[in-house]
Amino acid sequence: MTKKNKVAGILSVILLIVFIISLITMLVTGVVVLFMFIAVPVGGFFDGLFDGFRGDSDADYTMGEFVEITMAFITATMFVVVSSRLMEVLRTISAGTPFEAENADRFKRIAKVIFFAELAKLAIVPVAFLWAVLFGVEYGDGGGLSIDLTNWLGAAVALVLAEVFREGARLQEEQEFTV
């Protein structure tokens, strides 16, 4: 096994672990978010089904906690997509064909997912806060607005890598069609 394949193999195992943990987290938080959302008292069908988001002292959870769980769900979903795409990229590296147009598309997709996930995490706070104010729901301490610069940088790096792989694919094609 070459050094390159060994590194790709180790990274694949790490990414697989990340993928599985993220998938479980996504499913669990997804179910929690769904149940919490159903319990929101918006004058809808499910009022009183669950005791949540209440303005009184009996509240099981606050809007801030709902926002935190939703953010965890978004982050887990982002990790699932990113890790699965990276595993596909590593597979092509192991196969010895990393410079293909599909890898450029994969990195572009990673950048898009990170961008929209971070955007959603930023947008959910004011929406939830407005909701809490409108319906007289307790917001609580958690679920504050925070900007994760590392993730935004990650999206930028993924975009740069997408262009690098696109150029690499072009050069690879040129090389293949040079006689």
Partner 1 sequence: MAINVKLDRILLERGMSLTELSERVGVTIANLSILKTGKAKAIRFSTLEAICKELDCQPGDILSFDDS
For partner 1, the binding residues (CB under 8 A) are 173-174, 177-179
Q: Which two tokens stand for residue 124?
A: 């959910």
Question: Based on CB atoms, which residue is closest to partner 1, 57 or 178?
Answer: 178
Nearer to partner 1, 92 or 172 (CB): 172
Tokens 């590296």 — which residue? 93
Identity of the residue, 51 or 173, whose beta carbon is nearer to partner 1 in the bound complex: 173
Enumerate the H helices of 3-137 as residue ranges: 3-38, 63-94, 101-134
Q: What is the DSSP letter of 48?
A: T
Q: Are 97 and 151 in contact (CB under 8 A)?
A: no
Task: Report, in Å, the least distance between residue 173 CB and partner 1.
Answer: 7
State the nearest-atom distance from the C-beta of 107 to partner 1, in Å: 24
Nearer to partner 1, 150 or 175 (CB): 175
Q: Which C-beta is closer to partner 1: that of 134 or that of 179?
A: 179
Residue 174 Cβ, how far from partner 1 at the closest point, in Å?
A: 5
CA distances from 98 to 66, 107, 110 (A): 41, 12, 16
Token pair 């050069």 is at which residue? Answer: 171
Task: Report, in Å, the least distance between residue 97 CB and partner 1.
Answer: 18
Question: Minimal distance in Å, beta carbon 100 to partner 1?
Answer: 17
Distance CA 143, CA 72 (A): 11
Q: Give the count of alpha carbons within 13 A of 131, CB side only.
A: 19
Residue type, 34: L
